[in-house]
Structure 1
Amino acid sequence: MTQNIFIKNQVFQLHHLGGIFWKQKSLLLISDVHLGKVSHFRKFGAAVPRKAIHKNYVLLDKVVTDFQPFQICFLGDLFHSYLNKEWQLFENWVAKTPAEIILVSGNHDIIAPEKFEQLQVKVFSEWVLDDFLLTHHPEEREGLFTFCGHIHPAIKLQGFGRQRLKLSCFFKTKNQMILPAFGEFTGTHALQPSKEDEVYAIVEDAVVKV
């Protein structure tokens, strides 16, 4: 289930897995997948199930299938650290994905750009497209609306009976939308919205404005 929003007369669909589809451009935005993180932690003795390595690719396939975009733009932290054995899985995923793939580098993207370019993946430090800025770190720039990641935003909710929930979310301010972390093996950071902010929480297979 998706949630449609309108920004600068453009339609954006928020997906419950954490991606945003820009309808007019057929462009899928995804942030903070952190591929390779599971293998990185397992290498140093963390008890992380091996099957978690493949979960991100299953989720990527799901969101790509749902939208069938012409382009996919990863808004930084696509890979968690240096090359490891998950790179081959990424190569295989790129080879079978028909969309053009673009990476806007994040602070964790320390793999040489040449490695991505060998796979026909374009790498930029930022991307300005029409009236929109696509970047990793939150940044407000005059005249542009920003899509970004990095924060891994979440919202804390309290229900009846003192139940408390912490849910990943899309966090929208006047000129910026922070995407949730797409990766399965990532943490979250709770944000406190102001009255002017809009929060779209991910609740199981739905996106709900709260």
Structure 2
Amino acid sequence: MIEYLFHSTWNSEWDEFVVYLQQFKDISFILTKGNHDILPKAVLTLSPLQVVDYLQLGDRLILSHEVIPDIPRHTMNIVGHLHPGVQIQRRGRQLFRLPCFVLQDNVFLLPAFGRWTGLHILKNTAYNQVFAIVGNGVIEVF
């Protein structure tokens, strides 16, 4: 699944990407369309991508760009839109802003890994678990 593809209109990189995907005839590529996927439907239709609003895998997993409200409690919704981050303050005015994974009820928020995406700094609550990305590892911070 591709969560977020290109934050731009058509460009030559899109054509290179399509050629790359066409090398893998036995693989189905699915894009869960998000707010940054602004290419016209006609351009997406000509690509090897299947474009969906969300992808449901059985009755226990839904992949989507934004949180899907009112899904059954036994179904996990994995979401990529929010770009969660955590701020950790240490002695000596050290302040770290790190991308993180967040689990709250049956919603699992994925971090953004791009340099230009920014972070939505979350507050710790009794209802969530926060897992910061530190170097090549992941640690629970609250």
- Same-fold call, TM > 0.5? yes
2:32 is aligned, of 104, 123, 129, to 104
The separation in 1 between residues aligned to 2:27 and 2:93, in whole angstroms, is 45
TM-score by length of 1: 0.59
Give the 5 Å matches for 1:61-80. 73-75=1-3, 77-80=4-7
C-alpha root-mean-square deviation of aligned residues, in Å?
2.0
Based on CA coordinates, which of the two structures has the bigger radius of gyration? 2
Residues 104 and 134 in structure 1, CA contact (< 8 A), matched pair in contact too: yes
Structure 2, unaligned runs of 5 or more:
none
Note the C-alpha offset of 1:113: 3.6
The separation in 2 between residues aligned to 1:159 and 1:95, in whole angstroms, is 49
Give the 3-state SS of the residue equivalent to 1:156 in structure 2: strand
For 1:167, the equivalent position in structure 2 comes to: 98
For 2:80, the equivalent position in structure 1 comes to: 149
Note the C-alpha offset of 1:96: 4.7
The separation in 2 between residues aligned to 1:83 and 1:93, in whole angstroms, is 16
Residues 140 and 176 in structure 1, CA contact (< 8 A), matched pair in contact too: no
Note the C-alpha offset of 1:132: 1.5
What amino acid sits opposite 2:12 in the alignment?
Answer: K
What amino acid sits opposite 1:84 in the alignment?
Answer: N
How many residues are paired up?
137
Distance 1:138 1:193, change over 3 A: farther
Note the C-alpha offset of 1:202: 0.9
Distance 1:204 1:99, change over 3 A: farther
TM-score by length of 2: 0.83
Stretch deviating more after TM superposition (139-148 or 92-101): 92-101
The separation in 1 between residues aligned to 2:88 and 2:27, in whole angstroms, is 37
Is the aligned partner of 1:183 residue 2:114?
A: yes
Cα deviation digits, residues 56-79 of structure 1 (max 9, x gap): xxxxxxxxxxxxxxxxx123x311
Residues 113 and 123 in structure 1, CA contact (< 8 A), matched pair in contact too: no
1:90 is aligned, of 17, 23, 33, to 17
For 2:47, the equivalent position in structure 1 comes to: 119
Query: Which protein is richer in helix relative to its size?
Result: 1
Residues 157 and 164 in structure 1, CA contact (< 8 A), matched pair in contact too: yes
Residues 105 and 136 in structure 1, CA contact (< 8 A), matched pair in contact too: yes
Note the C-alpha offset of 1:207: 1.4
What amino acid sits opposite 1:112 in the alignment?
Answer: P
Distance 1:89 1:186, change over 3 A: farther
Residues 140 and 146 in structure 1, CA contact (< 8 A), matched pair in contact too: no
For 2:65, the equivalent position in structure 1 comes to: 136
- Structure with the larger RCO, 1 or 2 (CA within 8 Å, 6+ apart): 1
For 1:56, the equivalent position in structure 2 comes to: none
